[in-house]
Amino acid sequence: MYHFRSLIMQKVTKEHIEKLTDYLWEIPTSFRKDMLVPARILASEQILDDIIEDRSLNQLVNVATLPGIRKASLVMPDVHEGYGFPIGGVAATSYPDGAISPGGIGYDINCGVRLLTSSLKMKDIKEDLEALGKELYAKIPSGMGKGGQIRVFSEQMDEVLHRGAEWGVKQGYGHKDDLAYIESKGRLAWADPSCVSQMAKNRGTDQLGTIGSGNHFVEVDVVEEIYDNESAKAYGLHKNQIVVMIHTGSRGLGHQVATDYIRIMINAMQKYGIKLPDRELACVPFNSEEGQNYFKAMCAAANYAWCNRQIISWEVRNAWETLFGKEKGQLRLMYDVAHNIAKVEDHVINGKNERVIVHRKGATRAFGPNFEELPDAYIAVGQPVIIPGSMGTCSYVLAGTTKSYDITFGSCCHGAGRRLSRTAAKKQVNAPVLKEQLRERGIFIEAGSFKGIAEEAPIAYKDVNSVVDTVNISGIAKKVAKIKPLVVVKG
DNA sequence: ATGTTC
Give the model's confidence band at A148: pLDDT under 50 very low, under 70 low, under 90 confident, else very high.
Answer: very high
Instruction: Reply yes or no on whether the pLDDT at A7 is more than 80.
Output: no
Q: What is the mean pLDDT of residues A238-261?
A: 98
Does A175 participate in catalysis according to the annotation? no
Q: Is the CB of A380 under 7 A from strand B?
A: no
Give the model's confidence band at A275: pLDDT under 50 very low, under 70 low, under 90 confident, else very high.
Answer: very high
Residue-wise pLDDT tens digits, A435-451: 999 999 999 999 988 99
Give the pLDDT score at A473: 97
Rounded Cα gap, residues A167 and A187, in angstroms: 10
Q: Is the CB of A59 under 7 A from strand B?
A: no
Give the pLDDT score at A345: 98
Give the model's confidence band at A249: pLDDT under 50 very low, under 70 low, under 90 confident, else very high.
Answer: very high
Is residue A409 within 8 A of residue A358, CB to CB? The reply is yes
Instruction: Reply yes or no on whether the pLDDT at A434 is more than 70.
Output: yes
CA at A277, C1' at B6: how many angstroms apart? 20
Strand B: positions under 7 A of a protein C-beta atom: 1-4
Give the pLDDT score at A57: 97
Q: Is the CB of A255 under 7 A from strand B?
A: yes
Give the pLDDT score at A488: 96
Instruction: Reply yes or no on whether the pLDDT at A3 is more than 80.
Output: no
Q: What is the mean pLDDT of residues A247-262?
A: 98
CA at A352, C1' at B6: how many angstroms apart? 44
Rounded Cα gap, residues A237 and A395, in angstroms: 14
Q: Which residue is nearest to nucleotide B4 (CA to C1')?
A: A144
CA atoms within 13 A on the CB side of A249: 32
Q: Which CATH superfamily is domain A5-419+461-490 in?
A: tRNA-splicing ligase RtcB (3.90.1860.10)
Q: Is the CB of A303 under 7 A from strand B?
A: no
Residue-wise pLDDT tens digits, A458-488: 999 999 999 999 999 999 999 999 999 999 9
Instruction: Reply yes or no on whether the pLDDT at A5 is more than 70.
Output: no
Give the pLDDT score at A31: 97
Q: What is the mean pLDDT of residues A273-284?
A: 96
Q: What residue ranges in A267-351 does DSSP mark as E strands? A: 284-285, 331-338, 340-349
User: What pairs with residue A335 in β-bridges?
Assistant: A115
User: What pairs with residue A242 in β-bridges?
Assistant: A222
Least confident window among A108-112, A129-133, A327-331:
A327-331
Rg (CA), chain A: 21
Q: What is the mean pLDDT of residues A160-180?
A: 97
Rounded Cα gap, residues A468 and A30, in angstroms: 31
Give the pLDDT score at A328: 85
Mean pLDDT of chain A: 96
Give the model's confidence band at A9: pLDDT under 50 very low, under 70 low, under 90 confident, else very high.
Answer: confident
- The CA-atom distances, in angstroms, between A238 and each of A230, A320, A330, A358, A389 are 11, 19, 16, 33, 19
pTM of the model: 0.97
Across all strands, nucleotide nearest A259 (CA–C1'): B2
- Domain chopping of chain A, boundaries: 5-419+461-490
Residue-wise pLDDT tens digits, A200-237: 999 999 999 999 999 999 999 999 999 999 999 999 99
Instruction: Reply yes or no on whether the pLDDT at A8 is more than 80.
Output: no
Give the pLDDT score at A255: 98
Give the model's confidence band at A1: pLDDT under 50 very low, under 70 low, under 90 confident, else very high.
Answer: very low
CA at A348, C1' at B4: how many angstroms apart? 41
Give the pLDDT score at A130: 94
Give the pLDDT score at A232: 98
Across all strands, nucleotide nearest A202 (CA–C1'): B3
Instruction: Reply yes or no on whether the pLDDT at A6 is more than 60.
Output: no
Give the pLDDT score at A392: 85
Give the pLDDT score at A327: 86
Q: Which residues contact A94 (CB under 8 A, 6 or more apart)?
A: A68, A70, A354, A355, A356, A357
CA at A144, C1' at B4: how many angstroms apart? 10
Q: Is the CB of A414 under 7 A from strand B?
A: no
